[in-house]
Amino acid sequence: MDEGFMDHLRSTTFLATLAGAPAALALLVPQAALADTTISTSQTTPVRTSTAGNVTIASGGTILLANGGTAATVDSNNTVTVASGGAITNTGGKTGDAGIVVEPGRSTTISNAGTITVTETFTAADTDSNGIADGPIASASNRYGILVGSGATTTGSITNSGTIKVDGLNSGGIAVKSDLVGNVSNTGTINVIGDNSIGIATKGVTGNVTVEGTVSVVGEGAQAVVVGGNVGGTVRIQGTVAQASSYTTDGGTTQALSRTALRSGKAAVEVSGSVAGGILLDAPPYDRSSTSTDEDGDGVADASEAIGAISSVGNSPALLVGGANDIVIGKVKARDGEFSLGIDGTITASSVYSNTDAFAVVIGGQGGAVTMANGIGVSGTVTATTVDERATAILINQGSVVPSLSNSGTIRAVISSPGEGAAYAIHDKSGTLGTINNTGFITVTGSSGDDLRAIDATANTAGVTIKQYLNDIDKAAQTAEQAAAGYDASNPTIYAAITGDIHTGSGNDVLDVATGRIIGDSFLGAGNDSVLLSGDSGYRGDINFGAGTATMGMAGTSFFEGN
> pLDDT tens digits, residue range 307-319?
999 999 999 999 9
The DSSP code for 73 is E
Cα dihedral 338→340→343→347 (10° resolution):
180
Q: Per-residue pLDDT tens for 241-285?
A: 999 999 999 989 999 999 999 999 999 999 999 999 999 999 999
Mean predicted confidence (pLDDT) in 367-376:
99
Find out whether 377 and 404 touch, Cβ atoms under 8 Å: no
Per DSSP, which regions of 161-221 are E strands?
A: 163-167, 172-176, 180-181, 184-186, 189-193, 198-202, 209-211, 214-218
Assign 462 to helix, strand or coil.
coil
Separation of alpha carbons 186 and 306, rounded Å: 13
Q: Per-residue pLDDT tens for 502-556?
A: 999 999 999 999 999 999 999 999 999 999 999 999 999 999 998 899 999 999 9
Q: Specify the pLDDT at position 33.
A: 63
Q: Per-residue pLDDT tens for 475-510?
A: 999 999 999 999 998 899 999 999 999 999 999 999
Separation of alpha carbons 331 and 337, rounded Å: 10
Separation of alpha carbons 538 and 50, rounded Å: 72
Find out whether 470 and 439 touch, Cβ atoms under 8 Å: yes
Give the chain's mean pLDDT: 94
User: Distance from CA of residue 215 to its chain's centroid?
Assistant: 10
Q: How confident is the model at residue 430 (pLDDT cuts 50, 70, 90)?
A: very high
What predicted TM-score, i.e. pTM, was given to this entire model?
0.93
Q: Specify the pLDDT at position 31.
A: 40
Q: Specify the pLDDT at position 420.
A: 86
Q: Where are the domains of the chain?
A: 58-266, 268-286+302-412
Separation of alpha carbons 269 and 310, rounded Å: 8
Q: How many residues does the chain have?
A: 563
What is the percent of the chain with per-residue pLDDT over 70, rounded to a whole number? 94
